[in-house]
Structures are given as C-alpha cells and as structure tokens.
Amino acid sequence: MASIRHGITLRFCVTLFAIASMCAAPACAQDATGVQRLYVLNCGESETKDLSAWSPGFNEGKAFEFSDSCYLIRHAKGWLLWESGVSDAIAAMPDGLTVGNGMLTLHVRKTLRSQLHELGVAPSDIAYLGFSHFHGDHVGNANLFTSAKLYIQKAEYDAAFGPDAAKSGFNPAFYNKLKDNPVVVLEGDHDIFGDGSVTIYSTPGHTAGHQSLLVRLPKTGPVLLSGDAVHFQENWENRRVPARNFNKEQSLASMQKLADILEREHAALWINHDKAQTNTLPHAPQFLE
C-alpha cells in the first residue's frame, strides 16, 4: 500500500510540477493571448427634450433617449473595463439628475458596482482601464478602479488632470483617485495586449483626446466601440457633429477614420449612446464570445 500511495503521490507531484513549470508565472500570463468574452453593461440612461443640441439644424424640439454602455472585456491576461458610465450615486435619485441647464436628465437603473458583483468581479479585479473620454457620463464611476492600468491619450490627460479641467467640461471629482494609477499615456493608436485583440484608436474631436476601441471577439468578430465619436445612427449616416464638440474638423476626420477601420476590419460599429442599437445587444450576465 505504502508503495502504491507513494507512487500516486509521486505521480501527483510530477504532474503538479509539470503544470507549475508550464505555467510558471509570470510566463503563463505573459504568453496568454486573445479576448475570451465581452459583457455589455447598462451604465445609465438619459433623455433630452431637444435632440438638435447633438445635430445642429436638425431634430429641433425632438425628444430623444440615449443609452450609456460600459464594456467589460475578459482577455487572457485579465479584465479590461472600457467606460464606467454615469455615477452610481444617481441610482438613489428617484427622478434622476438633470444637467446642462435642463438639456439632459440622467438615470441609473442598476449600479455598475452591482452588475460587476453579479459577475463575481470586484473593482480591484479590473487590471486594465480606459474611457472613450472624460465627460461625466463615461467616467462617473472611475474612482472605483484605483488598481487598474489606465490607457489615455495625452491630450485628454492634460485636459483632465491639468488645472483647467472644468473648461473641457470635466469634473475631477469623478476620477481624481486615478491620478496615482499606473498610466499609459498615448499619442495615437495602441495595441493594448500586443496580440492584436484589443486596439485603441485615437479619434479626437468630441474631446481633445477622445479614443475608440476595436475588440476582436473570437466568435462574434471585430466590434468597434466608438464612444461619443458619434451619438446615434442618424448622425453617423449624415456625418453630423454636435455643437458642443471640442473640434468639428477633428470630429469629421475621426468619423472617416472609424469608417475606414470598419471597412478594413469588417467590424460592427457599436454606438455607445444609440439606445435603439444598444437594446439589440445582449446585456450582462449574457456575454459575447
């Protein structure tokens, strides 16, 4: 018996050793590639009484509802969160929060923190973090993610963390805890994991350092998360630029850049605030592979 047990123990140890040496961290994590799944999270909703603020000269007096999505991406190297939506604090406000001199009313039906919790993901599990830009409906819960590596364009970094953040329409109270995060400051496009699976594209115009994200899903195919480079389908089709954008020419050039990426990559365009489209996407706990 003793020898058999010894044999089993030895085999077990050999197997363990083999696994350990195969996966000797950090080599295992470094070699891991590819996106495994993507969750769409409901990170708020909003409504306006006058859509023309987003499409000058069109849709005057037209009421409209926007979605607000976050995207939780499981890569072989860890969790990436793209966007953090409007602040979870708004969930406690029964009538929502009206901002911009009555231009927009924001609602949170379900907090980001609770959606992550349901998936078994703690804020400290988020290893990689990015936002299309630093407006409050995208960085509303940024301060939850203080252990993540932040990916941000230099122009956005300078505006958000500089002395005149409010001039860019940014509120540092939403994201000031990120100032000590590890940060990758970008001036252009960037392949986050070095395996082509998740690529940041610089798409300025809505803000000085707006960026978009191409995610290559193994079964679904590539999807392009365009943030606020465009707000809804009609604006995309007609290349309309909201009056409040940082720079109109940059906005138009970025829309063309996105169109070129879509064509080259045969990717699907996911417009963050287009509620009609967002409603067609599976939401967490469902996911796309």
User: Which residues have CB under 8 Å from 39's CB, separation 6+?
Assistant: 71, 72, 73, 74, 119, 283, 284, 285, 286, 287, 288
Shortest approach of Zn ion to residue 132 CB, angstroms? 8
* Minimum CB distance to Zn ion, residue 44 (Å): 9
Q: How far is the CB of 152 from Zn ion (least distance, A)?
A: 16
SS3 275: helix
Residue closer to Zn ion by CB (options 141, 197) is 141
Instruction: State which residue, 38 or 106, has the beta carbon closest to Zn ion.
Output: 106
**Closest distance to Zn ion from the beta carbon of 228 (Å):** 4
How many helices (H) does the chain have, and how many strands (E)?
7, 13
Strand pairing of 104-107 and 126-130? unpaired
- Nearest CA to 54 among 200, 251, 208, 277? 251
Which residue, 156 or 228, has its beta carbon nearer to Zn ion?
Answer: 228
Q: Which residues bind Zn ion (CB under 5 A)?
A: 137, 228
Return the number of the residue (10 or 89) whose C-beta is nearest Zn ion. Answer: 89
DSSP-derived secondary structure for 101-128: TTTEEEE-SS-HHHHHHHTT--GGGEEE
d(CA 127, CA 118): 18
Closest approach of Cβ 68 to Zn ion, in Å?
Answer: 7
Nearer to Zn ion, 179 or 244 (CB): 244
Distance separating alpha carbons of residues 26 and 38, to the nearest angstrom: 24
Task: Report yes or no: 264 and 216 within 8 Å, Cβ to Cβ.
Answer: no
Residues 199 and 201: their CA atoms lie apart, in Å, by 6
Question: At its nearest, how many Å lie between Zn ion and the CB of residue 189?
Answer: 21
Question: Could you tell me the smallest distance in angstroms from the CB atom of residue 66 to Zn ion?
Answer: 8
Query: Left if phi > 0, otherwise alpha if psi is -120 to 50, otherwise beta: which for 242?
Result: beta
Closest of 199, 148, 211 to residue 175, by C-alpha: 148
Of 117, 113, 111, the residue nearest 145 (C-alpha): 113
Q: Is the CB of 59 or the CB of 245 nearer to Zn ion?
A: 245
Of 46 and 115, which CB lies nearer to Zn ion in the complex structure? 46
